[in-house]
Homo-oligomer: A and B are copies of this chain.
Amino acid sequence: MKGQVIASLKAVESIIQTGALPVNVKWFIEGEEEIGSAHLGEFIKKNAKLLEADFCVNPDAGMINADSPTITYGLRGLAYFEVRVFGPDRDLHSGLFGGTVHNPAQALAELIAGMHDKKGRITLPGFYDKVRKAGKAERADIARLPTTPKHFLKQTGVPALWGEPDYSPEERVSIRPTLEVNGLLSGFTGEGSKTVLPAWAMAKISCRLVPDQDPDKIYKSLIQYMKKNAPKTIKWDVKNLHSAGTAITERDSVGVRAMAKGLEQVWGKRPLFKREGGSIGVVVELQKYAGVDSVLTGFGLPEDNAHSPNEKLHLPTWKKGIDAFINMFFSVE
């Protein structure tokens, strides 16, 4: 049935007979997605009434492969910080002063090392307080995804995976929050050796957040950690550089159910359900400012070279996607 329109007979008949869709559709076209959606939140806030809807269908997700229709119902948020540790008032000669002052690069390393316990859990005070627990059904659906430990090993090239032992790698990147060091800088970093005892050390540190964590509270949690753990031998500073909220749509909500049925009618199988590790501004802000939940799906394949040279669309999959959307409209209960 390559390239064949396979929307259900009932759906096609209904359109022919009534000349209309069985639901009202509002189009919301977001033109700022690739530049960080700077004015989007303000627009949604001002036009919340206009944007009222039972749910939003957002096609900005993809498929795992051409045979696996996929619904994305959750996105992680972000809290991004710059941590600086200050020691002596200038770089010192390590021979003349080494041993008497707390090396700020070492102090920073000690603070970073303490941010996870031995099981890979984050130790910032209250960090997990608001994490919404995934239920058995959700975790069972995550287990259906083909992103096995072997997949992650191959994708990353690490000698062994790492992370919270009570969660699968796919769960660790979707339903669990993380804390990552994105950058480190201190002292002499060129070729060869220089016996400097650096005046300061810097780390870029960011957390991927899950519902219902709040980036502002995570900032406060980091400040609390620093106050509790930073020794008196150094000074420190934390800059709150960037944040993004989390988003989640209930898996049994009207939108997810309609989209799942639409996909199933075309592919002949139940779709996969996943949460994404990254963030999409419009999903977060529609939920936050207009109370509209999004269902994400899409018909791009991993091999489509999205945003890259030779970007392509697989036409048979694209046409199946059109059919799935038609069926979705007729599956809204």
User: Contact residues of A with B, CB < 8 Å?
Assistant: 76, 78, 80, 82, 87-90, 92-103, 105-106, 108-110, 112-116, 152, 155-164, 169, 172-173, 176, 178, 180-189, 192-198, 201-204, 206, 208, 231-235, 241-242, 276-279
Contact B193 A206 (CB under 8 A): yes
**A105 / chain B contacts, CB cutoff of 8 Å:** 112, 181-184, 203
CA distance A98 to B100 in the complex (A): 37
Known interface pairs A99-B208, A176-B99, A279-B95; A182-B160 also in contact (CB < 8 Å): no
Q: Which chain B residue has the least Cβ–Cβ distance from A164?
A: B99
Known interface pairs A89-B156, A99-B172, A204-B188; A182-B197 also in contact (CB < 8 Å): yes
| CB of A172 to closest CB in B, whole Å | 4
CA distance A185 to B108 in the complex (A): 13
Contact B102 A158 (CB under 8 A): yes
| CB of A71 to closest CB in B, whole Å | 18
| CB of A285 to closest CB in B, whole Å | 18
Contact A96 B278 (CB under 8 A): yes
Q: Can you list 5 A-B pairs, Cβ within 8 angstroms, ordered by A? A: A96-B173, A100-B163, A103-B180, A108-B109, A182-B197
**A241 / chain B contacts, CB cutoff of 8 Å:** 192-193
Q: Which chain B residue has the least Cβ–Cβ distance from A100?
A: B169
Known interface pairs A160-B233, A185-B185, A189-B185; A113-B110 also in contact (CB < 8 Å): yes
CA distance A178 to B158 in the complex (A): 33
Contact A106 B96 (CB under 8 A): no
CA distance A231 to B160 in the complex (A): 9
For A100, give its contact among B94, B106, B110, B173 (CB under 8 Å): B173
Contact A103 B181 (CB under 8 A): yes
| CB of A230 to closest CB in B, whole Å | 11
Q: Which chain B residue has the least Cβ–Cβ distance from A112?
A: B109
Known A-B contacts: A110-B113, A182-B187. Give 11 more (CB < 8 A).
A78-B195, A90-B157, A95-B278, A97-B277, A101-B156, A106-B181, A110-B112, A162-B231, A182-B194, A182-B198, A184-B189
| CB of A281 to closest CB in B, whole Å | 13
Residue of A97, A116, A163, A234 contacting most chain B CB atoms (<10 Å): A97
**A76 / chain B contacts, CB cutoff of 8 Å:** 95
Known interface pairs A189-B184, A234-B159, A241-B192; A152-B102 also in contact (CB < 8 Å): no
